[in-house]
Amino acid sequence: MSTGAREVLVHPDKDALAQAVADRLSTRLADAQAARGTASVVLTGGRNGNALLAALAASPEARERIDWSRLDVWWGDERFLPEGDPERNHAQAHEALLDAVPLDPARVHAMPPSDGHYAGDAEAAAEAYATELAAADGDPAVRVPAFDVLLLGVGPDTHVASLFPEHPALRETERTVVGVHGAPKPPPTRLTLTLPAIRSAEEVWLLAAGEDKADAVALALSGPGELQAPAAAAYGRSRTLWFLDEAAASRLPAR
Ligand SMILES: O=C(O)[C@H](O)[C@@H](O)[C@H](O)[C@H](O)COP(=O)(O)O
């Protein structure tokens, strides 16, 4: 487990959850920028990940805390689809927030699309992103920058990023990014950070809202094996936060 604490924070509903995480994320990134002059965040796809971005877009106070020109934006996973496909996490993040804030385009690190240079070759695309990660820190010994916050939506089967239960990608201990084939959540081909890359983050924040996540949350927080519940294997170097709404927390032991 991480050296830091794991905390479970429960909010009344998904809207309150999204607003609270947006507020906390903007403060955390602003603090990182105050301390180091820069910050980095890893985005996640899905409803909760995009709701968080939309909440940030809708909150001028939270949005304006961040110096967007000094923020590095990465992705934890991507659906391996053509550039511009509205189902890409990159496209959905731009629609929810990124098009509305003054980011430095050179610091927005999209995972490669399935057309273009790596047409149809998820492994080559994954390797290219791993190379981009390794180049980010400037220190050849560092293969993944120490992300300030790495966001993860939690699937109803406890998957995070595109790491699905019992899937080979979960067992990867060397590579930082891999291609995923036969994913149970469409589309079947994806790119994903691996557990070693996820665990390089300073803080890992997991998001789950809704009744359909209650069993996954209860399983993941019950101490299962990493192959059985990938969300349980996702933790940060100094802190791991679970952000839930009441519905997703409804099957946890009485708090
Ligand atoms: O590509 C994706 O779909 C996401 O990266 C995936 O990991 C998502 O975060 C979870 O499936 C939760 O999605 P929901 O928040 O929509 O339930």
Give me ligand 1 centre to Cα 154, in Å: 6
Which residue, by CA, sits nearest to atom 11 of ligand 1?
A: 155
Where would I find the beta strands (DSSP E) of the chain?
5-11, 39-43, 71-75, 77-79, 149-153, 177-180, 190-193, 203-208, 239-245
Q: What is the pTM of this model?
A: 0.97
pLDDT digits 0-9 by tens, 25-50? 999 999 999 999 999 999 999 999 99
Which residue, by CA, sits nearest to atom 9 of ligand 1?
A: 153
Residue 252 lies in a domain: no
CA 191, CA 177: separation in Å to the nearest integer?
7
Mean pLDDT, residues 149-161: 98
* Domains identified in the chain, total number: 1
Q: Domain limits at 23?
A: 2-245
Residue 101 lies in a domain: yes
pLDDT digits 0-9 by tens, 182-212? 999 999 999 999 999 999 999 999 999 999 9
Q: Look at residue 255 in the predicted model and tell me its pLDDT.
A: 61
Give Cβ neighbours of residue 233 (< 8 Å, ≥ 6 apart).
163, 170, 195, 226
Tell me, what's the ipTM? 0.98
Residue 255 lies in a domain: no
CA 166, CA 156: separation in Å to the nearest integer?
14
Residue 254 lies in a domain: no
> Residues near ligand 1 with C-beta < 6 Å?
44-49, 77, 79, 89, 153, 155, 159-161, 185
User: Cis bond leading into 186, ω under 30°?
Assistant: no
Q: Look at residue 5 in the predicted model and tell me its pLDDT.
A: 78
Give me ligand 1 centre to Cα 249, in Å: 18
CA 15, CA 106: separation in Å to the nearest integer?
32
Residue 253 lies in a domain: no
Residue 80 lies in a domain: yes
CA 92, CA 121: separation in Å to the nearest integer?
23
pLDDT digits 0-9 by tens, 93-106? 999 999 999 999 99
Which residue, by CA, sits nearest to atom 7 of ligand 1?
A: 161
Residue 91 lies in a domain: yes
CATH code assigned at 47: 3.40.50.1360
Residue among 48, 74, 81, 243 to mutate when testing ligand 1 (max atoms within 8 A of CB):
48
Structure tokens at 224: 């299962």
Residue 144 lies in a domain: yes
